[in-house]
């Protein structure tokens, strides 16, 4: 078990290294650079920069260097000093930009995941144990709708609806007065008040999908011999359900939990823009458009870290829960 | 629990009161194509300490009948009739009438009647240890003391011949071989000292040498613990070794019922004859093709009122067998058959024996 964990952590480092290289390469694929975007903007604004100025900036940001040198200049301080580089566009360290958003993103993602599981697991249990009942059909119908409705549309509808009927627009994660205030208990409470709408919007598709997966898993498990064995030995139905089929049906849910985390982050970019959520998604989008290399690369890297850490965590959790996985892996 | 009264008897109508009585059991599965009749008026008695062998091809309703005893048949199954579990000191319980969360049912399941299954590979939950599942059964029926339950579990595993029982408790099912798993399964079933053990083809998935060991184990345990066994199999060789009485099932009905020696000495139903002819035997000339019963078991959806075996029967009587359902009646002392070749059966159905043209 320990050696497996250590080995997985080793793979994780290899993975992250590869992800960082690929991220950096892809971001630099589009022709041009931030300087060119910048000079176009200045031209459009009617005050073109001189070539000397642009050359100076290019040299200062190291954009005249070959790509691998640029990568090296980014990754070495990142790993050794936790320095994510400097944003061309925002004229401040990338970390300052990311830090607040990163925490919000993590909090938001975790709350969304908790929401997804807290809703989908009981509903799936009900649905599977009452197969073909009215409740089951209703859940299925709602599930299909939940999967089919794009979440940004739902976000828009909620915005319009609440503006029309309540006169408030549930955007952002804080009330204006806390926007730039330092963290305090009141600010935290304010955050909690603002969370439900975006969490429901972002979590709906995941909830619907999880209900469907878990329901069909449970229905499969109900047919299995070990369930009949347990029933034949006199285990009461409710305990039987939770101890045997539910436990086994959870496996695919746990093994995909790692993917849910980044999915929430990247999948919610459009929703985040619509609802004005200060998460990483909108920042990433904007930095890519502006070719703000270090912001884009660092944001992508953060998503990569979330993904890889999530997957490793769910894999380790799975080996704890399922002895068969343990055996296969150690052999 | 000294229910075993060993009485050497060659007759079904023995004086011993039955332990379990299945009366006119009908199990119907309403499926898309129509009503599938898995059991059609089954009458069986199981006597304390005795083994009843239930024989038949796949799909003849053996398993459904057995599952009805514990109410573990698929949810859609509609069961009618009576399954009476008799007690020495109180009136019998009709299992068919019990609700699905009735504490009495949960007490009978695994307590009074335990069951072992065909597939030792899948009968245990893969994510729980053997000990967890075995001790669970003991805690449900024998004792509420965890330490004592553990001791009983170790003693049971030892009894069924599993080496290093204490360590085995910590193992997962995939650590054990098929034979060992079936032994653990038997240990789990017998840990509550049931009065009836239902064994649904328990050795079919095992290889022959392991099969012989498991059969011997079950017989030894029956002698020690005195439980009755309902042994379900399609293998007449195994039935001959295990059973005191045999009931042959075809398309949801019992077609022949006799003490085991009587049955093998003089078969009184063409279906049983066919089954015996198709069993491989040592001493048969090699290269000789094995006899088969023509055709397959028809799927009993919307069954016609006729002898179910008629379409495959080599001695069927047109005009009778395809018109009337033959009743199961005694055609020789202690030997029941449901074949119109016997005048007693014709008489029971209200037909003239002269109509047969043999």
Q: Are residues A230 and A201 in the same domain?
A: yes
For the segment A39-97, what is each residue's pLDDT rounded down to a tens digit? 888 888 777 777 888 888 888 777 888 888 888 888 888 888 888 888 888 888 888 88
Percent of chain A past pLDDT 70, that is, above it, reads 95
For the segment A133-148, what is each residue's pLDDT rounded down to a tens digit? 999 999 999 999 988 9
Q: Are residues A157 and A269 in the same domain?
A: yes
B137 contact residues in A (CB cutoff 8 A): 233-234
Interior/surface letters A68-88, b for 16+ CB within 10 angstroms, e for the rest: eebbeebbeebeeeeebbbbb
| B30 within domain boundaries | yes
Q: Are residues B164 and B46 in the same domain?
A: yes
Q: Which of B107, B110, B122 sits opposite A226 (nearest CB)?
A: B122
What's the number of domains chain B is made of?
Answer: 2
The nearest CA of chain B is from the CA of A8 a distance in Å of 22
| pLDDT tens for the 358 residues of chain B, in order | 444 444 444 444 445 789 999 999 999 998 888 888 899 999 999 999 999 999 988 888 899 999 999 999 988 899 999 999 999 888 999 999 998 889 999 999 999 999 999 888 899 999 999 999 999 999 999 999 999 999 999 999 998 989 999 999 999 999 999 889 999 999 999 999 999 999 999 988 888 888 888 899 999 999 988 999 999 998 888 999 999 999 999 999 999 999 999 999 999 999 999 888 887 766 666 667 777 877 777 777 777 788 989 888 888 888 899 889 999 999 999 999 999 999 999 999 888 755 544 4
Q: Which of B115, B126, B174 sits opposite A232 (nearest CB)?
A: B115
| A93 within domain boundaries | no
Q: Are residues B238 and B262 in the same domain?
A: no
Of B211, B233, B250, which residue is a domain's last? B250
| A331 within domain boundaries | no
Percent of chain A past pLDDT 90, that is, above it, reads 22
| B10 within domain boundaries | no
Model's pTM, two decimal places?
A: 0.80
Q: Are residues A153 and A220 in the same domain?
A: yes
Best B32, B76, B100, B126 member to test A by mutation, with max A CBs in 10 Å, is B126
Task: Specify the residue for token string 């029933």.
Answer: A231
B172 touches chain A (CB under 8 A): yes
- Please tell me which residue, B162 or A162, carries the higher pLDDT value: B162
Asked whether the beta carbons of residue B72 and residue A248 sit closer than 8 angstroms, the reply is no
B109 touches chain A (CB under 8 A): yes
Asked whether the beta carbons of residue A225 and residue B117 sit closer than 8 angstroms, the reply is yes
| B295 within domain boundaries | no
Q: Which of B122, B128, B141 sits opposite A225 (nearest CB)?
A: B122
Determine which helix (DSSP H) or strand (DSSP E) holds A189, and give its type and residue range: helix A185-194
Q: Are residues B143 and B120 in the same domain?
A: yes
Of B250, B267, B293, which residue is a domain's last? B250
Task: Specify the residue for token string 């360590």.
Answer: B167
Residue A194 phi, psi dihedral angles, 5° rounding: -85, -15
Give the domain extent around B271: 257-278+301-355
What's the number of domains chain A is made of?
Answer: 2
Q: Are residues B215 and B266 in the same domain?
A: no
> Which pair of tokens denotes residue A317?
């959790």
Q: Are residues B241 and B190 in the same domain?
A: yes
Measured CA to CA, the distance from residue B303 to residue B108 in angstroms comes to: 33
Of A23, A55, A81, which residue is a domain's last? A81
Q: Are residues A71 and A158 in the same domain?
A: no
Domain holding A107: CATH number? 1.10.3720.10
Best B63, B114, B127, B132 member to test A by mutation, with max A CBs in 10 Å, is B127
- Please tell me which residue, A322 or A153, carries the higher pLDDT value: A153
Asked whether the beta carbons of residue A324 and residue B126 sit closer than 8 angstroms, the reply is yes
Measured CA to CA, the distance from residue A124 to residue A42 in angstroms comes to: 56
Give the pLDDT confidence score for residue B260 in this predicted structure. Answer: 95
Give the domain extent around A63: 2-81
Q: Are residues A184 and A267 in the same domain?
A: yes
Q: Are residues B152 and B182 in the same domain?
A: yes
Of A81, A107, A122, which residue is a domain's last? A81
User: From the centroid of its chain, how far is CA B132?
Assistant: 28
Q: Are residues B242 and B204 in the same domain?
A: yes
Nearest to A105, CA basis, from A210, A207, A198: A198
Measured CA to CA, the distance from residue B65 to residue B46 in angstroms comes to: 13
Q: Are residues A75 and A109 in the same domain?
A: no
For the segment A104-119, what is each residue's pLDDT rounded down to a tens digit? 888 888 888 899 999 9
A243 contact residues in B (CB cutoff 8 A): 125, 128
Best A221, A233, A317 member to test B by mutation, with max B CBs in 10 Å, is A233
| A236 within domain boundaries | yes
Asked whether the beta carbons of residue A236 and residue B101 sit closer than 8 angstroms, the reply is yes
């Amino acid at each position: 078990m320990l050696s497996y964990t250590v080995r997985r952590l080793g793979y994780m480092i290899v993975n992250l290294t590869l992800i960082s290289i690929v991220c950096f390469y892809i971001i630099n694929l589009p022709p041009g650079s931030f300087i060119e975007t910048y000079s176009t903007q200045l031209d459009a604004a009617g005050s073109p920069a001189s070539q000397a100025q642009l050359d100076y900036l290019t040299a200062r940001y190291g954009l005249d260097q070959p790509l691998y040198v640029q990568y090296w200049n980014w990754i070495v301080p990142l790993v050794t000093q936790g320095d994510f580089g400097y944003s061309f566009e925002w004229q401040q360290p990338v970390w300052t930009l990311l830090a607040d958003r990163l925490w919000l993103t993590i909090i938001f993602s975790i709350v969304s995941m908790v929401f997804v599981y807290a809703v989908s697991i009981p509903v799936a249990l009900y649905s599977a144990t009452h197969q073909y009942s009215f409740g089951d059909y209703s859940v299925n119908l709602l599930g299909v709708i939940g999967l089919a409705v794009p979440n940004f549309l739902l976000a828009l509808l909620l915005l319009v609806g609440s503006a029309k009927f309540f006169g408030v627009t549930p955007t952002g994660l804080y009330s204006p007065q806390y926007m730039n205030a330092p963290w305090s208990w009141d600010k935290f409470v304010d955050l909690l008040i603002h969370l439900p709408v975006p969490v429901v919007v972002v979590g709906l598709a995941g909830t619907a999908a999880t209900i469907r997966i878990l329901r069909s898993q449970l229905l499969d498990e109900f047919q299995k011999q070990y369930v009949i064995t347990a029933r034949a030995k006199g285990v009461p139905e409710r305990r039987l359900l939770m101890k045997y089929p539910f436990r086994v049906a959870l496996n695919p849910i746990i093994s995909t939990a790692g993917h849910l985390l980044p999915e929430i982050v990247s999948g919610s970019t459009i929703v985040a823009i619509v609802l004005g959520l200060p998460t990483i998604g909108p920042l990433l989008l904007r930095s890519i458009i502006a070719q703000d290399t270090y912001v884009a690369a660092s944001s992508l890297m953060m998503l990569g870290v979330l993904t890889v850490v999530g997957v490793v965590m769910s894999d380790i959790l799975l080996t704890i829960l399922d002895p068969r996985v343990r055996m296969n892996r150690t052999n | 629990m000294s229910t075993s009264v060993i009485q050497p008897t060659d007759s079904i109508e023995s004086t011993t009161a039955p332990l379990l009585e299945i009366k006119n059991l009908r199990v119907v599965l309403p499926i898309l194509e129509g009503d599938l009749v898995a059991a059609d008026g089954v009458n069986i008695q199981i006597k304390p300490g005795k083994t009843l062998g239930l024989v038949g091809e796949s799909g003849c309703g053996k398993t459904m009948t057995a599952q009805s005893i514990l109410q573990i048949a698929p949810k859609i199954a509609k069961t009618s009739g009576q399954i009476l579990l008799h007690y020495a000191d109180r009136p019998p319980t009709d299992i068919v009438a019990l609700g699905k969360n009735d504490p009495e049912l949960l007490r009978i399941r695994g307590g009074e009647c335990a069951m072992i299954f065909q597939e030792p590979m899948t009968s245990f939950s893969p994510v729980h240890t053997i000990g967890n599942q075995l001790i669970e059964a003991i805690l449900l029926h024998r004792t509420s003391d965890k330490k004592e339950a553990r001791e009983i579990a170790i003693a049971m595993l030892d009894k069924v011949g599993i080496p290093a029982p204490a360590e085995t408790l910590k193992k997962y099912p995939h650590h054990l071989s098929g034979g060992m798993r079936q032994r653990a399964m038997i240990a789990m079933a017998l840990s509550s000292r049931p009065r009836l053990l239902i064994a649904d083809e328990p050795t079919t998935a095992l290889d022959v040498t392991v099969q012989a060991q498991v059969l011997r184990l079950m017989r030894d345990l029956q002698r020690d613990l005195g439980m009755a066994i309902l042994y379900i199999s399609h293998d007449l060789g195994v039935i001959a070794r295990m059973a005191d009485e045999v009931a042959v099932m075809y398309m949801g009905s019992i077609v022949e019922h006799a003490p085991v020696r009587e049955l093998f000495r003089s078969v009184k139903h063409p279906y049983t004859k066919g089954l015996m002819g198709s069993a491989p035997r040592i001493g048969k000339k090699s290269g000789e093709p094995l006899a088969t019963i023509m055709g397959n078991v028809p799927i009993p959806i919307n069954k016609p009122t006729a002898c179910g075996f008629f379409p495959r029967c080599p001695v069927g009587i047109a005009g009778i067998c395809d018109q009337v359902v033959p009743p199961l009646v005694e055609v020789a002392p202690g030997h029941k058959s449901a074949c119109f070749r016997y005048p007693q059966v014709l008489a029971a159905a209200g037909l003239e024996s002269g109509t047969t043209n043999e």
